[in-house]
């Protein structure tokens, strides 16, 4: 129903494509959406610019009981299909690949966390089975193909809901922060880690009242090695790979402090995620200029520092043990 609404919002200036990524175990379809701006003309320069826009890859609802993830996704999709100048700029800046519901079987059949195979699909990303986990298998295959043709996403984000923690926050991936919070013996040469993975959540903390940077974590844990954000970071090579968690409760900071969060606030969060991507584009578009690094450092509140780390082990090993484990 909502996809039909999006189709009705399309204008001649909007490239909107709906494909079937795959069929699920229960015989349901898993939609794949592509949203961007149409090229200005059929000239080779405009077609080239159209094809070479950076990719943003979004997904949601891998856990059926996390209904708030779909409300955030609704806010994102309706913003992207909107007519505001910001929406126009965002479509001109990026190509969006979106899987709005990774577990339609679970949603249709009233499951809370699992698929029809009785498994948590967000623990199958390392080695998904094409028969038992088709949506994960084909989503990962698409990401691998994009990486193969050197079109890996600039940002990957999987929308979730959290049953215990308050606010909206992110889990990301950092070698440095994992080393700091683990018992790994760091004996190799100094590592200079690009802190760009912190930029997007920091922007969100500045523009989205429900978002909390303090609640976010960038530690890679052994127990999460098969989740989307870790596999996409480790195997696909996407530095800005996140899980974005939205509370099922309320907020304890900002203008929504002490209030129960509702669908309006969740949709607002989805649209603010889009605005954060636009600001990110303005930063990354200046990457060849030294002052961008200063701007980005100001945004994330710190500067790149060397750290002694076993980077190869962290990127390849599946036995990272951390003292502070994220709950999702």
pLDDT digits (tens, 9 = 90+) for 171-198: 999 988 777 666 655 544 456 677 889 9
Task: Name the average pLDDT for the chain.
Answer: 86
Of the given ranges (3-7, 25-29, 125-129, 323-327), which has the lowest mean pLDDT?
A: 323-327
| pLDDT tens-digit series, residues 194-209 | 788 999 999 999 999 9
Is 245 an annotated catalytic residue?
Answer: yes
| pLDDT tens-digit series, residues 245-296 | 999 999 999 999 999 999 999 999 999 999 999 999 988 775 443 444 444 4
- What pLDDT does 100 receive? 97
Name residues whose C-beta falls within 8 Å of residue 87's C-beta, 6 or more positions apart in sequence. 79, 80, 81, 274
CA 53/CA 33 separation, integer angstroms: 16
Question: Is 145 a residue whose pLDDT tops 90?
Answer: yes
Q: Are the C-beta atoms of 108 and 61 separated by less than 8 Å?
A: no
Q: Are the C-beta atoms of 72 and 266 separated by less than 8 Å?
A: yes
Say which of 78, 221, 245, 265 is annotated catalytic. Answer: 245
For each of the domains in the chain, give its residue range(s) and CATH number, in order of start: 2-316 (3.40.630.10)
Q: Are the C-beta atoms of 306 and 193 separated by less than 8 Å?
A: no
β-sheet bridge partners, residue 14? 37
Name residues whose C-beta falls within 8 Å of residue 19's C-beta, 6 or more positions apart in sequence. 31, 32, 33, 34
């Amino acid at each position: 129903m909502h996809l039909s609404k999006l189709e009705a919002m399309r204008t001649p200036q909007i490239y909107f494509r709906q494909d079937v990524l795959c069929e699920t175990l229960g015989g349901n379809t898993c939609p794949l959406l592509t949203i961007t701006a149409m090229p200005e003309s059929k000239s080779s320069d405009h077609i080239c610019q159209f094809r070479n826009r950076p990719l943003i890859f979004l997904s949601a609802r891998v856990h059926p009981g996390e209904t708030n993830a779909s409300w955030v996704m609704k806010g994102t999709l309706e913003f992207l299909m909107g007519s505001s100048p910001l929406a126009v700029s965002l479509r001109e800046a990026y190509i969006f690949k979106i899987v709005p519901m990774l577990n339609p079987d679970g949603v249709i059949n009233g499951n809370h966390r699992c698929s029809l195979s009785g498994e948590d699909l967000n623990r199958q990303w390392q080695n998904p089975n094409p028969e038992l986990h088709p949506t994960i298998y084909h989503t990962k295959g698409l990401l691998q193909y994009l990486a193969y043709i050197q079109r890996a996403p600039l940002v990957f984000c999987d929308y979730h809901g959290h049953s215990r923690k308050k606010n909206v926050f992110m889990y990301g991936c950092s070698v440095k922060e994992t080393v700091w919070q683990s018992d790994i013996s760091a004996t190799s040469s100094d590592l200079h880690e690009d802190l760009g993975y912190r930029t997007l959540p920091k922007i969100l903390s500045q523009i989205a009242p429900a978002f909390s940077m303090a609640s976010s974590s960038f530690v890679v844990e052994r127990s999460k090695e098969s989740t989307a954000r870790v596999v996409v970071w480790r195997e696909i090579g996407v530095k800005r790979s996140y899980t974005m968690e939205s509370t099922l409760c309320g907020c304890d900071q900002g203008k929504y402090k002490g209030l129960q969060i509702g669908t309006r606030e969740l949709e607002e969060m989805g649209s603010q995620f889009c605005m954060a991507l636009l600001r990110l584009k303005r930063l990354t578009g200046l990457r060849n200029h030294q002052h961008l690094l200063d701007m980005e450092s100001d945004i994330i509140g710190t500067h790149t520092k060397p750290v002694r780390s076993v980077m190869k082990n962290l990127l390849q090993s599946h036995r990272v043990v951390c003292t502070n484990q994220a709950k999702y």
